[in-house]
Structure 1
Amino acid sequence: MSSPAVFVAGAGTEIGKTYVTAALTRRLLSQGRPVLTVKPLASGVPGLDDPAFALSDTAILLDAQGIAPTPAAVDSCSPWRFSAALAPDLAAAREGRSLHLDDLVAWCRDRIAAAPPGTIVLIEGVGGLMSPVTDAATGLDWLDALGLPALLVSGSYLGAISHALTGVETLRFHGVALLGVVVSESPDAPTAPQVVAQAVARRIKAPVICIPRGGDCPEALTALI
């Protein structure tokens, strides 16, 4: 029997998706629930010997799982890493590398199938739902091919309400099960994240949960997994 798996998608780029995924990972582990968290595609990742690697999404997710950043662990978490902070298709082209949706989907399915029974597999996407991941595919195509339920992460910046609702509607149109929306507080946002969360919650049926900047994962979020 396959392990339960969830895809953490974004309503946009640089909105706190990795922070939410890491916070969720830590809270699940603190509850005694085994978790495997991966980010197969990661752009803007320095080499492992670069001190800046510690600030990368891959390093943050490994740390949340209590895993030392050895070369094997890094490859196991993020097999497709690119140094340029660009969409994966552009970052791959800059390095003369190719990236294919079928390979990405197959890798994710293998990780889910190989996870010990009862392990929750969290797969963090890259960028926003419609961000390109290959020359021909978007993050939505990746999610759609996997057929997993999604957590949609939004920020609290000006315009975040529209972006979150657009993401929800996109997932609904494509038949993707939405577990909930997480509003992650954006730095220097004009309103509190709770204001954004309340505005989104009034307009959708799925749960909406708020995480303040630097805050821990609410229990209400782990209850959705």
Structure 2
Amino acid sequence: MSEGRTDGIEKGLRKAKKIFIVGTGTDVGKTYVTGLILKKLRESGRPAGYYKAAMSGNVRRSDGTLVPGDALHVKEVSGIHQPLEQMCPYVYEHAVSPHLASRLEGNPVALDMVEKGFREVCREYDYVTMEGSGGILCPVCFDGTEIWLEDVIARLELSCLLVADAGLGTINNVVLTAEYMRSRGIPLKGILFNRFHPGNVMEEDNVRMCRHRTGLKVIACVEEGAEELALDGDALAALYEE
């Protein structure tokens, strides 16, 4: 903890158990898997909240305001009642990384604001799942202040789960991501493989090779179109840390 924070804020942060969801890249299904994670937590009777520092590629309502699409998906899939406006402080229209979206639209990400919103969610929910943007090397801000996704993780002192596509190319993506995170001292607790097809020889071998090369635990293999996470609620909750 940095100096200057009040005891009340620290207690608010310590109340919740937390995890960060990082992907091997964009479009691997982080939001889809995150929705199933929060659904499992809610169904197991655990007050669950969601948070994301920045969302790009969102559509506008008729009044011109942006809909935080990832947050809306998680809310609808999981059944949580958390207000959308609490889920993400920075919402952009352009479907590019947050640093470029804010350059085009204004309102660049500030870590203090990200942390402030995160604290608020942690004070209200016992289990907080924070989702990343893109992969671990996603640039979050590059104007005035240089912020990368790993800086957000470090600032909030979070452990991570890695979401990967189960298909072709995932061995390279998983191993490189895991090795980079280790080199930066970012705690990585395990892997969830998305779009998994049981009986597919290549995908089953991908899981085995990733486990062998990284030494990481495979938390779950999420089948394509799955509506439930094949993981016990207690086992899932045990992955979260204060």
TM range (shorter): 0.7 to 0.9
Q: Deviations over 1:98-135 (max 9, x none)?
A: 222333233323432x224xx10000011000011111
2: distance between equivalents of 1:151 and 1:133? 19
Structure 1 residues not aligned, in runs of 5+? none
Amino acid at match of 1:194: E
CA gap of 1:150–1:200, structure 2 versus 1, over 3 A, is same
| 2:211 is equivalent to residue 201 of structure 1 | yes
CA gap of 1:186–1:126, structure 2 versus 1, over 3 A, is farther
> Identity of aligned pairs, percent?
27
- 1:8 corresponds, among 14, 21, 42, to 21
Shift of 1:57: 1.2
Q: Which has the higher Rg, Structure 1 or Structure 2? A: 2
CA gap of 1:120–1:67, structure 2 versus 1, over 3 A, is closer
Q: TM-score scaled by structure 1?
A: 0.85
Structure number with higher strand proportion? 2
2: distance between equivalents of 1:168 and 1:127? 15
2: distance between equivalents of 1:74 and 1:55? 7
CA RMSD of the aligned region, Å? 2.5
CA gap of 1:54–1:42, structure 2 versus 1, over 3 A, is closer
Partner residue of 1:27? 40
| 2:27 is equivalent to residue 17 of structure 1 | no
Partner residue of 1:167? 177
CA gap of 1:175–1:101, structure 2 versus 1, over 3 A, is same
Q: Deviations over 1:137-189 (max 9, x none)?
A: 211111122111101111123221111111111221222221211111279xx
- 1:151 corresponds, among 136, 155, 161, to 161
2: distance between equivalents of 1:192 and 1:36? 35
2: distance between equivalents of 1:173 and 1:54? 36
Partner residue of 2:134? 127
1: distance between equivalents of 2:74 and 2:190? 21
2: distance between equivalents of 1:126 and 1:23? 18
| 2:222 is equivalent to residue 211 of structure 1 | yes
| 2:106 is equivalent to residue 96 of structure 1 | yes
Partner residue of 1:224? 239
Which secondary structure does the structure 2 equivalent of 1:12 belong to?
coil
Shift of 1:82: 0.4
Contact 1:194 1:210 in 2 (8 A): no
Contact 1:184 1:193 in 2 (8 A): no
Q: TM-score scaled by structure 2?
A: 0.80
Amino acid at match of 2:141: T
- 1:177 corresponds, among 184, 187, 195, to 187
Q: Deviations over 1:12-55 (max 9, x none)?
A: 111000011001111111111221112231101112449xx889
| 2:127 is equivalent to residue 115 of structure 1 | no
1: distance between equivalents of 2:214 and 2:94? 36
Contact 1:185 1:193 in 2 (8 A): no
CA gap of 1:186–1:57, structure 2 versus 1, over 3 A, is farther
